[in-house]
Amino acid sequence: MVEAVPRRTLLRTVAIAVALAAACAGVLPAGHARAATGTVPQDFNGDGYGDLAVAAPNATVNGKAKAGYVAVLYGSANGLRGTAKKVYTQASAGIPGTVEAGDRFGSDLVTADLDGDGYTDLQVSADDELWEQGGVVREGSRTVLWGGPGGFTSGKVRPAVGDGRYQSGSGTVTGDFNGDGHQDLLDNGRVEYGPFGRDGVPAGSTGVQLVDGDIQLVKVVAGDVDGDGITDVVTLAQSFDDDDEGNRGEHLNFLRGSRDGLRPLVVLKDAQGEKIRPGHTLAIGDVNGDHRGDIVMGYGGLRFIYGTANGPADSVAPRTITQDTPGVPGADEAGDVFGHDLAVGDVNGDGYGDVLAGDPFEDLGAVRQAGAFVVVPGGPGGPTGAGSRLFGQDSADVPGTVEKDDRFGENVHLVDGNGDGRAEPVVAAVGEDSYAGGVWVFRSGSAGVTAKGSFAFGARTLGTVASGAWLGDRFPR
């Protein structure tokens, strides 16, 4: 049950075949809620193939430490390629702003067709950038890079907005929260309704409460939990003090999307009236094939709250998946943090969302914290663990060498780079080469994820400064 709290894209339609393939994969055209399976289309240049954006917020640019950049690999009939790449900084042609030390351009990334022209746009946060408004110095900016036939050729700086209780970028997600057919931004406690003008101004905006009371916001995710075609929001909140019921720790809130926008939050409780205790990570995707988004919780194991027509179910599914679950490779060991990061999408085209679970602190043999990720298949009753596969840098056909503290799998992502309706895993090892970072792209087919044909890229491929860049620290949400 839920307890009310007082109120205080999108793939460009290139051809009918592309549209049908997208629909089969759970990818919906602009104006619909985010696909239930979890596969998020990101087509920046409108060619019908998904593109990849990845940030290196601590990278040195033009001699400025921690200035940051965003790299884009463009999709094709052959998938993502290291040769079809572009690096964007605040010194790039058409991109506003100035390269400054410590700005951390790429602190957060979100994608949506904000201006409604059929091309996916990318909002890039620079959480530490200082700017002045009305004589007051503020911290944090957002730059929208407008998608188009040639990719990103122009942008607009938008000062950070929202409630000061929410750290810039921590509460930023996209979706159609009022069902009007335009993509909206939920940014740090403020909904900005699309379409956006090229001046960066939304059609309208309103404030929303993301947490109940004086509680820290930890995570925000968006998806269509009740299957009504309008995007809903789930927030993860953390309290360090006892609440009115003597509880402390983390809990979940649900904000239902409606024709009037996001409704007031409700605290998710189970059938006994107890707050549902989540993990530290969240994702939404349809893992049981009922066309409703399910809440996936991670960090040491995977748990699920299934979506219903009334919103999230009033109980956590009884099955918790760990590395001790039959069918899941590895062993459940202290400190592994299985599910450190999550992504949900259909990797084999069977209509069920599959879960990518990062396992960055996994020891591989005698090598500590080398890292791995696990693909956990979805199915009619939700994931069971059966058929799961683990990939690390010691797996056959995976490029690279197992090294201490690489933390391969720290961040995970999904992109349909070849337009076949199957999502391909993209995995970061932020600790690679003393925190230069690196990114691995895998392939998917009817049998699921494969390392054959996988490739890795880093500073050498991109032509950027490697030292301490943290490449892979952020993928889009």
DSSP 410-460: EEEEEE-TTSSS-PEEEEEETTHHHHTB-EEEEEEETTEEEEEEEEEE-HH
Quick one: 96 exposed, middle or buried, by C-beta within 10 A (0-12, 13-18, 19+)?
Answer: middle
Mean pLDDT taken over the chain: 87
Q: What percent of the chain has pLDDT over 70?
A: 86
Please, which pLDDT band fits residue 385 given cuts at 50, 70 and 90?
Answer: very high
Q: What is the pLDDT of residue 30?
A: 33
> Given a cut of 50, is residue 39 above it in pLDDT?
no
Asked whether residue 420 is assigned to any structural domain, the reply reads yes
Please, which pLDDT band fits residue 162 given cuts at 50, 70 and 90?
Answer: low
CA distance 53 to 51: 7
Among 19-28, 41-50, 325-334, 379-388, the range scoring the smallest mean pLDDT is 19-28
Sheet holding 52-56, edge to edge: 52-56, 69-73, 85-88
CA distance 248 to 241: 6
Q: What is the pLDDT of residue 381?
A: 94
Question: What is the mean predicted confidence (pLDDT) over 359-364?
Answer: 92
Asked whether residue 317 is assigned to any structural domain, the reply reads no
Position 405: which residue type?
Answer: D
Asked whether residue 190 is assigned to any structural domain, the reply reads no
Question: What is the mean predicted confidence (pLDDT) over 259-278?
Answer: 90
Asked whether residue 239 is assigned to any structural domain, the reply reads no
Asked whether residue 335 is assigned to any structural domain, the reply reads yes
Quick one: 38 exposed, middle or buried, by C-beta within 10 A (0-12, 13-18, 19+)?
Answer: buried
CA distance 55 to 42: 15
Q: Find out whether 210 and 232 touch, Cβ atoms under 8 Å.
A: no
> Given a cut of 50, is residue 153 above it in pLDDT?
yes
Residue 341: which domain range?
322-464
Q: What's the pTM value of the predicted model, to 2 decimals?
A: 0.89
Total structural domains within the chain = 1
Please, which pLDDT band fits residue 251 given cuts at 50, 70 and 90?
Answer: confident
Prior bond to 195 cis, omega within 30? yes
Please, which pLDDT band fits residue 243 given cuts at 50, 70 and 90?
Answer: low
Asked whether residue 63 is assigned to any structural domain, the reply reads no
Question: What is the mean predicted confidence (pLDDT) over 53-59?
Answer: 98
446: CB partners within 8 A, 6+ apart? 348, 349, 422
- 76-117 per-position pLDDT tens digit: 999 999 899 999 999 999 999 899 999 999 999 999 999 999
Asked whether residue 356 is assigned to any structural domain, the reply reads yes
Q: What is the pLDDT of residue 333?
A: 83
> Given a cut of 90, is residue 26 above it in pLDDT?
no
Asked whether residue 270 is assigned to any structural domain, the reply reads no
Strands (E), 166-287: 172-175, 184-187, 190-193, 204-207, 216-223, 232-239, 249-255, 266-268, 281-285
Tell me the two tokens of residue 187: 């940014």
